[in-house]
Amino acid sequence: MATSFEMAPALRAIFPQDMTQQKKKLMAMLGTAVNGLNNLEAIIPAVQASGVRHVDYKVTPSMYDTVGAALLKTLEQGLGNAWNDEVKEAWTVTYTILAKVMTDAAAEHIKNTQ
């Protein structure tokens, strides 16, 4: 997460001071996504609900691009030799799908509550 704040310091403002819980939640969701890769449909309702909650966290669609780029950079640095085109492709596809499901659900929620 340090990387996304380097890339966009303004993002830091919307997170709580103590990031312990946030890090646990993000890792839990990423773990769920990776475990559910072969059965992504199963976690779609939970991902949609989280996308709607992100509206309350003041997360805008463009922030998903920033966080996605930071996540890939962090994985590349952390995985070292285990990082290759196939791993990059898998994470890019996974993140892109999650972000799309979350932002679509958020847009639908905003439309319905206006």
By CB under 6 A, is residue 81 in contact with ligand HEM? no
Quickly count helices (H) and strands (E) in the chain.
5, 0
Whole-number Cα distances in Å, 88 to 69, 85, 96: 11, 5, 12
By CB under 6 A, is residue 91 in contact with ligand HEM? no
Check: CB of residue 56 under 8 Å from CB of residue 64: no
> Looking at 37-45, 73-81, 85-93, 98-106, which segment touches ligand HEM (CB under 6 A)?
98-106
Q: Which is nearer to ligand HEM, 22 or 35 (CB)?
A: 22
Cα 40 to Cα 90: distance, rounded to the nearest angstrom: 13
Interface pick for ligand HEM out of 7, 14, 27, 34 (rule CB under 6 A): 14
Q: At 31, which amino acid appears? A: G
Indicate the DSSP class of residue 12.
G
By CB under 6 A, is residue 22 in contact with ligand HEM? yes
Task: Give min distance, CB of 108 to ligand HEM, in A.
Answer: 16
Q: Using CB under 6 A as the criterion, which residues of the chain lie in contact with ligand HEM when the complex forms?
A: 11, 14-16, 21-22, 25-26, 29, 50, 53-54, 57, 59, 63-64, 67, 95, 98-99, 102
